[in-house]
Chain A
Amino acid sequence: MEHTTLTHHLLLAGLLFVIGLTGVLIRRNLLVVYMCLELMLTAATLALVAFSRFNQTMDGAVFVFFIITVAAAEVAVGLALIVALFRQQKTVQSNELSTLCD
């Protein structure tokens, strides 16, 4: 039986992070950008769990517990902000939100 090593898990986490970052850069829909941000956060938690498992300590896993808590609160507040923004500007496309430019 072959085993996965730390490198495999870190590669997966790194690639997920890069995909999320690419999404933040190329997408214009604020909701999708926000989902990509969440994806980057999840990639970071994956690396934390991998290090925690291979380091034989529980602290990284408990830290992931806190990250999930904070992320849930953050999503709720962020989505409320996006809804408030939509109410005022009638759009969620970031290239149309240029009130401060003109």
Chain B
Amino acid sequence: MPDGLFIFFAALTLGAASLLVLSRNAVTSAMGMILTLVGVAADFFLLDAYFLGVLQVLVYAGAVMVLFLFIIMLLSDSGESSRAYPWKQAMLGLAVFFFLAAGVFWLFLWSGALSHNIAGATPPELSANPSEFTTSAKSFGRLLYTKYLLPLQISGFLLLVALVGVVSLSKEPKNEVP
């Protein structure tokens, strides 16, 4: 049995994710997404990845979701809630959901893909070795500037490319294509 905090945050995460999928109002969906991301960040904390948890809240629940909400309100296209509920589609989606969820449970609990001593293990003790899993942001920095220096530079360049791309995409087109 997992401890109570994990159960609480897992329930919060899954409930908010269901809200995201099932709500017909896009703003409610965005709120569900924010709650889901906060729940995932809490799970990062439970996994001792404190830096990633903070990053998740700052970048995802902060910046990205603000962008989403801004666009949702900008394009407020309230057409979906006025339309008839797509029952056939929802039933099909539900069937897919139960099929895949059963697959997830089978894979992790009964298939034996995870051998018993791995699956049942509790997290190993944290050690002071810098290349091993530590909780501090310093070990992130050490790895980012040594082993992962090239990916770091590439991701910086990627951000620059994305910036230029977004600016050129959002410019008002000169001649509208009919």
Contact surface of A with B, Cβ cutoff 8 Å: 1-12, 14-23, 25-29, 31-32, 34-36, 38-39, 42, 45-46, 49-50, 52-59, 61-62, 64-66, 68-77, 79-84, 86-88, 91-93
Inter-chain contact count A-B, CB under 8 Å?
237
Given A4-B46, A14-B108, A42-B60, answer yes or no on A29-B133 (Cβ-Cβ < 8 Å).
no
> Is B143 touching A22 in the complex (CB atoms < 8 A)?
no
Q: How far is the CA of A8 from the CA of B47 in the complex (A)?
A: 12
Q: How far is the CA of A69 from the CA of B36 in the complex (A)?
A: 19
Closest residue of chain A to B91 (Cβ to Cβ) is A26
- Chain A nearest CB: distance from B156 CB in Å? 9
Q: How far is the CA of A18 from the CA of B99 in the complex (A)?
A: 9
Contact surface of B with A, Cβ cutoff 8 Å: 1-3, 6, 10, 13-14, 17-18, 20-21, 26, 29-30, 33, 36-37, 40, 43-44, 46-49, 51-52, 55-56, 59-60, 63-64, 67-68, 71-72, 74-75, 77, 79-80, 86, 89-90, 92-94, 96-97, 100-101, 104-105, 107-109, 114, 118-124, 127, 131-134, 139-140, 143-144, 147-148, 151, 155, 158-159, 161-163, 165-166, 169-170, 173, 176-177
Given A32-B29, A53-B133, A92-B75, answer yes or no on A27-B21 (Cβ-Cβ < 8 Å).
yes
A-chain residues with CB within 8 Å of residue B10 when the two chains form the complex:
8, 12
Given A11-B105, A77-B166, answer yes or no on A21-B124 (Cβ-Cβ < 8 Å).
no
A-chain residues with CB within 8 Å of residue B147 when the two chains form the complex:
59
Closest residue of chain B to A42 (Cβ to Cβ) is B40
> Is B139 touching A58 in the complex (CB atoms < 8 A)?
yes
> Is A22 touching B97 in the complex (CB atoms < 8 A)?
yes
Which of B1, B26, B75, B133 is the one whose CB lies under 8 Å from A56?
B133
- Chain B nearest CB: distance from A26 CB in Å? 3
> Is B122 touching A69 in the complex (CB atoms < 8 A)?
no
A-chain residues with CB within 8 Å of residue B159 when the two chains form the complex:
69, 72-73
> Is B80 touching A28 in the complex (CB atoms < 8 A)?
yes
Which of B67, B94, B124, B143 is the one whose CB lies under 8 Å from A75?
B67
> Is B140 touching A62 in the complex (CB atoms < 8 A)?
yes
Q: How far is the CA of A58 from the CA of B64 in the complex (A)?
A: 25
> Is B26 touching A31 in the complex (CB atoms < 8 A)?
yes
> Is A65 touching B52 in the complex (CB atoms < 8 A)?
yes
A-chain residues with CB within 8 Å of residue B26 when the two chains form the complex:
29, 31-32
- Chain A nearest CB: distance from B157 CB in Å? 10
